[in-house]
Chains A and B, each alone.
Chain A
Amino acid sequence: MPESPEARLQHHHKLSVQCRVGSLNIDANLKLSSMWTILFGPSGSGKSSLLRAACGLIGSEGITLQRFQPDETWQTLQDANTQTPPHLRGLAWAPQHTSLFPHLTVRENVEFAAHHGQSRNTDHQSLVAESLRLFRINHLASRTPRDLSGGERQRVSLARAFATPHCKLMLLDEPFNGIDHTLRNELLPEMRTWLRDRGIPALSVTHDVEEALQLQAEVILLREGKVEAEGYVTKVLHAERDGLLQSLAKN
């Protein structure tokens, strides 16, 4: 079902990337305006690199990131003159390879995002508890990443991202990697509600057609570093589905 008009925002983030990552030339202009945007494309199209660029992790030339503020002005997080360091960008990130901290327990991993080393307070504690509950990993709280399955690690990574307070944009790279479809379909609406309640827009990366359809979100189609199409999922993917399926089958 398409999102209601009220759920559509003015562009809340503008990300413009012109750079070279490895052998890939990325030239993309993303104007994010809805609560959940999907960055879709075959592997190697530069999706993860775009997220990393938004995080401030790859170089600084040719990348512009701006945020629309409540007072209706644009805040520049990165451009030729400004480079806000990654830890001050107000982002939450679940990276493609989970990157869980191996020396911390599941709970400590999630807590890291909640208060990253500062003194704990009750707000942080409840945020952590809710995030653990959302992703159904309470029973794993004292385990270390070494003792988790792939899908469990993925959920911890998501819980950690969701436990980031004062987050202004949620970046999810292949969020359901290793999680079976049933569980995914259970988690999705709850994740949506969580984010909507807190007013946090999300940008997720996927190459899974079914997942994109399940999300019913706006889609930006990326191929070889360039935006090929944008729009509501059924429109974009319906038009591209045959070509996509072919190229995905090749990959």
Chain B
Amino acid sequence: MDSTSILLTLRLASVTTILLLLIATPLALWIATGRGPARRIVQAAVALPLILPPTVLGFYLLVGLGPLTAFGRFLIRLIGHPLAFTFTGLVIGSILFSLPFAVQPLVAGFTNVDRDLIDTARVLGASPWTVFRRIVAPLSRAAFLASAVLTFTHTVGEFGVVLMLGGDIPGVTRTLSIAIYDQVQEGQYAAANHASLWLVALSFLALLLLYARNSGRADAGIA
């Protein structure tokens, strides 16, 4: 049992999910409630990782974060070494890779909140932040759940980006999906099957726990 890869994958998925929710929420809020043509452009841009092959995305990141670009050089000066082959580099890749999975459910959820409720709350004296915290967010719980689950499971199964950016370093960038790929390539099918079961079990467990929690709340009435 490759516990190093499993723990690494769990760590990567958790960190990515938390960071991505923090990034996606204001972004989704702006797309859902803002005005002007800029929103649509941003919304389309956010959806790009959906159509880019993961290896292509990984390749762009490899080059873009490396010493060949001005931005990459700036990062290297800041950190002391390139982001490729590091856990941080993988987190950044994962965040970009799963961005649409995090943003789109949130946009749908926020848009679905009855406009009248927001208007009423505003007139009754609630600041925009209070409106979000006490009205929009609680009524978008399902969207947050979907966003978190999709990001988490998507990152657990991530392969192409990690392949291009990772460097296969055990404990640092050798995620479960890479480990399985290596085992398959080496003909170690038994080990690969074993690891794959772990991959499926992890994702399934995450889905189950979160969906069970959500339906529990629904039964008790939203409060």
Contacts and interface: CB of A to CB of B under 8 A. Distances in A.
- Physical contact A–B (CB less than 8 Å): yes
Interface of A: 52, 55-57, 85-87, 89, 91-93, 95, 97, 99, 101-105, 112-113, 116-117, 144, 146, 160-161, 164, 171
B188 interface: no
Nearest to B135: A101
A93 B123 contact: yes
Contacts, number: 75
Nearest to A142: B223
Contact of B123 (A91, A101, A102, A104): A91
B35 to A, nearest CB: 11
Nearest to B130: A117
Nearest to A86: B122
Interface string B90-129: 0000000000000000000000001011011111111110
Contacts of A113: 124-125
Interface residues of B, number: 22
Contacts of A55: 119, 122-123
Contacts of B119: 52, 55, 57, 86, 95, 99
Contacts of A161: 124
A144 B221 contact: yes
Interface of B: 114, 116-117, 119-128, 130, 133-135, 138-139, 221-223
A161 B123 CA distance: 10
Nearest to A108: B223
Given A57-B123, A87-B127, A112-B126, A103 B138 contact: yes
Contacts of B114: 99
A116 B121 contact: yes
Contacts of B124: 87, 92-93, 112-113, 116, 160-161, 164
A193 B125 CA distance: 24
Nearest to A118: B130
A87 B139 contact: no
B223 A144 contact: yes
Given A93-B120, A101-B117, A160-B124, 17 more contacts: A57-B123, A86-B119, A89-B123, A92-B124, A97-B116, A99-B119, A102-B139, A103-B139, A103-B222, A112-B121, A116-B121, A116-B130, A117-B126, A117-B130, A144-B223, A161-B124, A171-B123
A206 to B, nearest CB: 19
A26 B73 CA distance: 59
B222 A102 contact: yes
Contacts of A86: 119, 122-123
A164 B135 CA distance: 17
A99 B116 contact: yes
A171 B120 CA distance: 12
A102 to B, nearest CB: 7
A55 B117 CA distance: 14
A91 B126 CA distance: 11
Contacts of B116: 95, 97, 99
Nearest to A157: B120
Nearest to B122: A86
B27 to A, nearest CB: 22
Contacts of A92: 123-124
Contacts of B138: 103
21 contacts: A57-B122, A85-B122, A87-B123, A87-B124, A87-B125, A87-B128, A89-B123, A91-B123, A92-B124, A95-B116, A95-B119, A101-B121, A112-B126, A113-B125, A116-B121, A116-B126, A116-B134, A117-B133, A144-B223, A146-B221, A171-B123
Contacts of A95: 116, 119-120
A40 B59 CA distance: 67
Nearest to A52: B119
Contacts of B221: 144, 146
A174 to B, nearest CB: 14
User: Which 8 A-B pairs rank lowest in CB-CB distance, beginning with the nearest?
Assistant: A117-B130, A86-B122, A116-B126, A99-B120, A103-B222, A93-B123, A99-B116, A113-B124
Contacts of A105: 223
